Structure 1
Amino acid sequence: MSSTDALGLAPLVMILTLVGLVAWGAARLFIAIYRYIRATPFQRLRMRHAWRISRQWKRLAPNVGLARVDENTKGRKDWQGKTAKPITVVPKVKVFPEPWGIRAVVKTIPKVGVEEVEKAGGWLADAWGCETVEVKRLAAGLVEVRGIVGNPLDEHVPYEWPAVDQWVLPMGHNPWMRQVAIPLRQLSGIKVGGLPGFGKTMLMLAWMASLSNRANVQFAIFDGKTSDPRYGDWGEVGSRAMFVVGDNPETANQRLTELVRLLKDRPAALVEERGTHKFWKHGPTEANPLVVIFMDECHNYSDVKGLTGKDKQVVENNQRMMQTIAKEGRALGVLGVFGTQKQTADALPTAVRDNLEVGVCFPVFTTDAAEAALGPGIRKDEANDPSGLVDKDSNVGVCVVTGVPGLGGRYDRIRVGDLDEDQLPGFIASTAHLRRDVIPAAAPTIVDVSADTSAGASVPLQKKTNTRRKTA
């Protein structure tokens, strides 16, 4: 091809390129208009919000410290030989409308990453008209900014009951209106903390109700709120549980001993039934069900403060058995749910608390109490600190959770789904026909017939000691 032909084709290529760009822009505009027409009035409001943020981004970013001057363009000369202004680089952003507000994906540039975006979070919230802004790193070079308009946690939605084939404990919705549930498979345990009257017991009753219609699940209940469990929060659902005990540490000690015996006998029972001691490989069955232990106000069974003598020994023994359940229950289908008003080491020993995978904390007065339930990371997450939720007018049923898959060790606020407090116990009691006591009987005492048993006392069989001395 001659140079003349090449020069003749150049305008054609430019025209085709221009037509392609115009067609691409027109197609995008048409799709945007089509989506806007089909959207609801609420969705249109969110779409206009997202467009406004996207349009103003290049002016906003430099003012909140999210832009940088390109060092390579400093001191350069223009075509007239004068010093030109350096180029300011602004991160690219894509803004998407969401039911709860807006979601922006920012492409990072040198010296503007996730830390810089987090520092500018307050300014972004004000500029975007959002209640709060949350920042997280999506991938290398990408930062997601979620701007929440209003407070979705003020919205009440019904509690979502799981399907029969789902092994989860539902909780409620988070600030982005997504339902959150705790998977039960391989779960070591749950700690539930918070001040009285904010919903700890109601959430645990909801968990019991969500599993009560399954014959392959059994329950054990320790009601530390009352001396006579018949008249407590758990009294109406006691017919579905293997047992219900009150706040007496000695009675709890007897029942904890039985549960530990179940743990120790469970591997042999699993191997006999399915050929493996791994409980979750085949899941719960009627012969070897999932056993869920609810310990409400568990500090009444484990706090040794002020105790001496026999009383202290009993409570220390309770601590050891609670520790055994927390450490060994995961692989054997025994799940402990420990609830208390303050999960500090004096109320719930760290040997128990630190082995519980999921932490749930309703409002508390101090960050120390929040740290005991959720871990030290909560001190750096002011937005999710449950000590800022102490308001019964608006935050009954609101909690903070950690340890749930998908959070990556972070925290999430949850509004527990609405429950009918009057109908819930009745529903659980209606499944009482599924109750079975699966705790194995205690090993029989072996009597040494050669010993003197005239007093009627049985003694363990022991091997006689050889008292003869060896000769030299």
Structure 2
Amino acid sequence: MLDGLETAPLFAGIALAVLVGWGAFRLFLTSYRYLRASPLQRSRMRHAWSVSLRWRRLAPNLGLARIDENSKGKTGIDGKTVKPTVVVPKMIVHPEPWGLRAVVKTIPKVGIEEFEKAAGWLADAWQCESVEVKRIKAGQIEVRGLVGDPLAEHHPYAWPDGKTWALPIGRNPWGREIIIPLRELSGIKIAGMPGFGKTMLELAWFAALSPRPEVQFAVFDGKTSDPRYGDWGEVAQRAMFIVGDNPEAAHQRLVELVRLIKDRPAALVAERGTHKFWKLGPTVENPLVIVVMDECHNYIDAGGLRGKDKELIEANQRLMRTISKEGRGLGVLPIVATQKQTSDAIPTGVRDNLEVGVCFATFTLDGAEAALGSGIRKDEPNQPTEFVDKASAVGLCVVTGVPGLGGRYSRIRVGDVNEDQVVQLARGSAHLCRYVIPAPAPIVRDVSASSTE
């Protein structure tokens, strides 16, 4: 039998052969993938390899490495002080169509905050347009390097499949399609300067839901006095009603929508045995009612008004608050758009109750904050004040409140909407339009105290 001294070289040889075989297999697999890849994929692979090879030298220069305290003051056999050990976070770099994605295992004193502070330097070192950092789980973060500007690339609007209750917006910088789930949604607020895409996105949503008989529309077009000649005139046949910029006419329709909300619980119980709209979802009998208010400030801005005019606007504000607060669970969804979502244009009781925020180009952070929340001030890469160049920024927006974003902000390139297709979808489904608002209850007089003579 072989003793331990004789078997040791044998096991060492086997281990070495296994390591060499594994390395050869990895090299073959990588070479095969590289040869089969497209020119763009090969470029991304070479970029990822370069970043990975230079990481151990780069990390200490950016403050993303630490000296092992336990190695300080150590001496070698010769009595000389040994150089302290530098600990570098382990990083695995993956090529992506939009750039590269690095998964990093954090070390003590080098975590997500340190990587966020060094994001600008990482972008320069990695030759990326920008770098974004997010936590995957405890002890692990993801660093994404964006090469070029994918948001500058136009693409067709992604029409929904007609099976899920969701509204597409567009693509984020990483090529992911962002959608807004409608289930239990309280509402959507849209802000931004004129001419950058607010109304076109609303029209795309209108057309996307038009072929569904379980959806009805109420439209308030605050851009024009006669809605027949405005942006919404060509799709008017699919809406229960369309109102121009007259606050008094809008008031009458808002009263009807509030009456629908108040009467709907009884209608739901009669149809399905429960007042919870989203338990079974929209039906033809009790459809999802989309309330579109384009340039809503014309109906609810009381600035400079007095007397009866002010009373009318304040009444509209109260009705809008009811719709935004009570519509969610009863299938009435407001989509409210105005150029600047500040409190002088839209009451905070309405604005702050609409959970999804969409903001196109705006000149001031105050305007962005009104639509997206105070957190946008700290998120410089996603501030919509960067989108003011009309030559390139039409169709660019920032969104928040969408499930899957983790409460963060995301830049979006809205897909290019074919206006002829919008009109075709709306007019082709005009026969599905139904007026679902119940008639007002009859006035009942109390005659118990009247004379019987």
Output the TM-score relative to the length of structure 2: 0.98
In the alignment, the residues of structure 1 paired with residue 433 and residue 425 of structure 2 have an alpha-carbon distance, to the nearest angstrom, of 14
CA offsets 1:337-374 (integer angstroms, 9 cap, x no match):
00000000111111111110100000101001000000
- Give 1:384's match in structure 2, choosing from 379, 382, 385: 382
User: In the alignment, what sits opposite 1:26?
Assistant: 24
* Structure 1 unaligned residues grouped into runs of 5+: 447-459, 467-472
Aligned residues: 451
Note the alpha carbon deviations across 1:242-299, whole angstroms, 9 max, x for none. 0000111111010000000000111100010011111111111100000000000001
After superposition, where does 1:420-459 map in structure 2 within 5 Å? 420-446=418-444
Q: Which residue of 1 aligns with 2:260?
A: 262
Match of 1:237 in 2: 235
CA distance in 2, matches of 1:423, 1:218: 19
Give the alignment of 1:306-385 within 5 angstroms.
306-385=304-383
CA distance in 2, matches of 1:40, 1:285: 48
Picking from 464, 467, 472, the partner of 2:449 is: 464
Residue identity (%): 68
Structure with bigger gyration radius: 1
**21-30 or 339-348: bigger deviation:** 21-30
8 Å contact kept, 2:211–2:425: no
Q: 1:12-411 counterparts in 2 under 5 A? A: 12-411=10-409
Q: Supply the distance in 1 between the matched residues of 2:292 and 2:449 (Cα, whole angstroms).
A: 45
Aligned to 1:454: none
String of CA shifts for 1:225-244, please: whole Å, max 9, x gaps. Answer: 01111111111111100000
- Whole-Å separation in 2 of the counterparts to 1:392 and 1:250: 35
1: distance between equivalents of 2:353 and 2:269? Answer: 26
**Letter aligned with residue 378 of structure 1:** I
Q: Distance in 2 between matches of 1:425 and 1:392?
A: 25
How many Å separate the matches in 1 of 2:210 and 2:420? 17
SS at structure 2 position matched to 1:180: strand
Structure 2's unaligned 5+ residue stretches are none
Give the 3-state SS of the residue equivalent to 2:179 in structure 1: strand
- Distance, in Å, in 2 between the alignment partners of 1:301 and 1:21 is 73
RMSD of aligned residue pairs (Cα, Å): 1.2
CA distance in 2 between counterparts of 1:13 and 1:317 reads: 87
C-alpha distance in 2 between matches for 1:334 and 1:23: 64
SS in 2 for 1:393: helix
Q: Distance in 2 between matches of 1:429 and 1:301?
A: 27
Verify the 8 A CA contact 1:226 1:247 in the aligned structure 2: yes
1:273-332 Cα distance to aligned partner (Å, 9 max, x none): 011111111111100000000000001111111111111111111111111111111111
Quote how far apart the aligned CAs of 1:423 are: 3.7
Question: In the TM superposition, what is the alpha-carbon distance from 1:464 to its structure 2 partner?
Answer: 2.6
Q: Alignment partner of 2:350: what SS?
A: helix
AA aligned opposite 2:446: L
Tell me which stretches of 4 or more aligned residues in structure 1 moved more than 4 Å: none
Render the CA deviation track for 1:369-391: whole Å, top value 9, x for unaligned. Answer: 00000001101100000011111
Provide the rounded CA distance (Å) in 1 between the counterparts of 2:449 and 2:97. Answer: 78
TM-score with structure 1 setting the length: 0.94
- How far is the alpha carbon of 1:463 from its aligned partner? 4.5
| Cα shift at 1:66 | 0.4
Contact 1:236 1:426 in 2 (8 A): no
What SS is found at the alignment partner of 2:218?
strand
State the Cα distance separating 1:25 from its structure 2 match: 1.1
The residue type paired with residue 464 of structure 1 is A
Summarize deviations over 1:113-158 as a string: whole Å, max 9, x none: 0000001100100010100000001111111010000100011111
- C-alpha deviations, 1:374-409, integer Å up to 9, x for none? 001101100000011111000000000001111010
Letter of the aligned partner of 2:189 in structure 1?
K
